[in-house]
Amino acid sequence: MAIDELHKAWAKLDQLERQERYLVERLSHIHKEIGAQKLEIDDLIKGRPPAINRLPTELLSQIFALCIPDSKFPEKPLHRIVSVSRRWRDVVWDDPSFWTFIKVTPTQDKKLLKKQLKRSRKALLDIWIVDWDGHRVYDAYDKLCALLGAIVPHANRWRSLIISESMDLEFMEPILMKMNHLSIPFLREFSIDITDDLDYPDMPCPDFLSPTCAPALEYLTLKPSFQLDNFTALPALKVLHLTFPYADDPPPVISMLTPAQSLISLVLDGGSTGWSFKQNDLYCPLLEKLTLYVDEPVPFLAAIVAPNLRYVECRILDPVEFDTIEGKFRDVHDLSLISSYQAEGRSREPLCRAFPWVRRVHVAVWDASFLMTGIDGSGVLGERPLVDQWLNLETVIVESLHRGWLELWELGDDPIVKWLRGRQESGLSRLRVRLSPVHAGEDKLSIYYALLGKHCNLEIFNYPTQ
C-alpha cells in the first residue's frame, strides 16, 4: 500500500515538474514577444528606419543585385531601387558592381558614360556596342569615336567586348582602329556577331587578339569573316567561332587551331573548299561540341581527333562521303543534321555508320526523308528507315514543323506518324520526340499530337529567345 502511494507521489511530482518547464518556456517566449513589441513601439515613436535598412550595406547590395534579372538591362530595376530612399541610392552609387556593364549606343550621353566609368572604380568591365545599325546621321561617326575615346583608356580592365549583330559594318572599321593597338590583359570574351551575306576578306584580323595582348581570352566569335592567314587560336580559348571567306587561297586551318588545346566548343562557318588536311592531323583533347557550317565537313572530321567529343552539328552535301570515317565517332551521342537539296536521293547509310552510337538526333522537318526512307507512296513500310540503325537512339528533335506540312498529309498518313508506328510494330524502343510548335488549326493540331503521342513520348518545345 505504501509503495503504491509512493509511486503516485512520484508521478504527481513528475507531472508538476513538466508543467513548471512548460510555464518557464512559455514565460520566456512571452518575454521575447514583449521585447519585440517594445522595439516596434519605440520604432514608431522615434521614427526608427525599417528592418531592411538596418541590414549591413554588403547584404543590402547583394539583395539589390538579385533584383536585376538581366545584367545587360539594369537601368529600369536600378532606377526603381535608387528612387526608394537616399540610403538605397547611396548603396547603389557606391557599389562598383552595379556600374560594370557599359553600353555604347547612339543615345548614350558621353558625360553619363564617364560618370558610370568613374563609379565602376577598378572593377572589371563588360562592354556592349549595340544598336548602331542604320544610324547614318552626319554626326554618328564622330559620336561613336567620342564614346570609344571614353572607354578605351579603361581597356586594362575590360572583361568582355561584344559588338552585336545590330552593328552597321560601316562603323566596324573605326571601332577596330581605336582598339587595334590595345593590350587587354583581362579580356575573357570578344565577339563580333554580324549577320551578313557578304564576305569581307580584306578586313584584317584585329591585332589585339594575339597571345601577347589578350592572354586571358577564352571566348571568341569572329563574324563576318576576316583575313585569317596570320590568325592563331590562343591557348586559353574554350569557345571559338570562326567565319571563313570563300577564297581561292584558304588559310592554314590546322596550324591556326593547333595551339588551342583547351577548346571545349568549336564552330567553323563558311567556305572550306581547298582546305588541306591529313588523317588525324588535329588533336583537341577537351573538345565536346563541334559545329561545321562548311561545304565540305568530312575532310575536317577525318583530320580531327577529339576523345571527349559528344555533339556534332554539320551540313550534309553528300552523305556517301562519310564512308571514309566509318565508326570514327563512336562517342558522339548528339547529332544535328543540316541537309542540302544536293543530298536528296543519296544513301544516308555511311552517315549512320560514322556515328554508330547516337542517342539524340536533330533534323528539320524538310529532311524528314531521313526518318522515312523505306516508306513508299502508299504508306507501306518496305524496309526499316536508316535512322533505326541507331539502336541506342532515345530522342528525335524535329524542328521547323509548319502548317504546310500538316496540310500536305492526311491525318494518319503523315510520314513521321508512320515511321513511329512502324518502330512500335517492329518492337523497337519507344522514342522521345520533340517538335517545334505549329501555328495551325487547333482541332487538326490536337488530333495530330494525339496520333504522335500513341507511338512516342511527345514534347513541344519553344525556340530559345536571344
pTM: 0.80
* Closest of 345, 346, 313, 347 to residue 329, by C-alpha: 313
Which contacts of 341-349 are long-range, i.e. CB under 8 A and separated by 24 or more positions?
A: 342/317, 342/318, 343/316, 343/317, 343/318, 343/319, 344/369, 346/318, 346/319, 346/320, 347/319, 347/320, 348/319, 348/373, 348/386, 349/319, 349/386, 349/389
pLDDT in tens, 78-135: 888 888 888 888 999 999 999 999 998 888 889 999 999 999 999 999 999 887 765 5
Peptide bond into 235 cis (omega under 30): no
Q: What percent of the chain has pLDDT over 70?
A: 86
Q: How far is CA 378 from the centre of its chain?
A: 43
List the grid coordinates of 101: 556593364
Burial of 327 (0-12, 13-18, 19+ CB in 10 A): exposed
Average pLDDT, the chain: 82
Average pLDDT over residues 172-200: 81
Bigger pLDDT: 207 or 332?
332
pLDDT tens, residue by residue, 383-435: 567 778 888 999 999 887 777 777 776 766 777 888 888 888 888 889 999 98
**Three-class SS of residue 307?**
coil
- Is the pLDDT at 335 greater than 60? The verdict is yes
Contact call for residues 351 and 316 (beta carbons, < 8 A): yes
- Residues belonging to the chain: 466
Choose the weakest-confidence range: 62-71, 198-207, 247-256, 351-360: 198-207
Contact assessment for residue 418 and residue 375, using Cβ atoms and an 8 Å cutoff: yes
Q: Is the pLDDT of residue 246 over 70?
A: yes
Per-residue pLDDT, 48: 64
Asked whether the predicted pLDDT for residue 371 surpasses 70, the reply is no
* Chain CA centroid to CA 175, Å: 26
Q: What is the band of 284 on the pLDDT scale with cuts at 50, 70, 90?
A: very high
